[in-house]
Amino acid sequence: MPELPEVETVRRGLLPVMEGARIEKARVNRPDLRWPFPPRMAERLTGARIERLERRSKYLLAALDTGETLLMHLGMSGRILVSGDPLGHFVHDHPAPEKHDHVVFDMQGGARVTFNDPRRFGAMDLMESAGRDAHPLLAALGPEPLGNAFSEPHLVAALEGRNTPIKSALLDQKIVAGLGNIYVCEALFRTGIHPARRAGRLSARRRASLVPAIRDVLSDAIAAGGSSLRDYRRADGELGYFQHSFDVYGREGAPCRRDGCDGTVRRIVQSGRSSFYCARCQR
């Protein structure tokens, strides 16, 4: 599933053709994805102007001049691709329709934005913009890891007394929004913390050290266009490249990349997910 850097990369790729532009025609080619689409979605979107295109956790949010906000989630295999952009940001002509092109936006100016999702685990919804923070998918989310609310005091307090493994705690979207398996593994490596350590037993100093590490890992991944492991593509159809910089994720049996460490990367399973770490330098 795309994590925060991949969703942020898609958002930035969509900005030139969506933010400030009008949806001249919206087409919805099936009744649902993971959940049913809202009633009359194509009708409600056609003619609407996108005032802002934002991201909250792993969700894209398009604030419309109609007073509604369109929520989009990529799910496991969703892709949002742009074609026919007259501004020159994208060079692709409109391709022939594909089987899994479930939602299509023909934008003002000639660009086309297509939501393609073979597995149909993605989602779209429309909500009143004024109350969007109360939406069931958004209401319980914690602070954004790249925002000011995600601070060292916040994380130290949020992890206080928690008996869950630190890996599981950081995946809790109520503690910090948008983190997923890949980037938690990478942040724990950068701080030298073993993924199975109990969150509440870490010293306040070590808990605090996770904040800059998380910020740095996410920023590095965004700069590289995200990580392409299976289905992920940027909005221009290209791959992300941060997977070539992984220190531990997916590198089971490989040597540790930390200077002076002769350990090897190991894998354990936590709550059904693989955790990768250096057996020597992560404690």
**Catalytic residue IDs:** 2-3, 58, 273
Torsion of CA 214, 216, 220, 225, to 10 degrees: 40
If we measure between CA atoms, which residue out of 49, 45, 96, 46 comes closest to residue 72?
Answer: 45
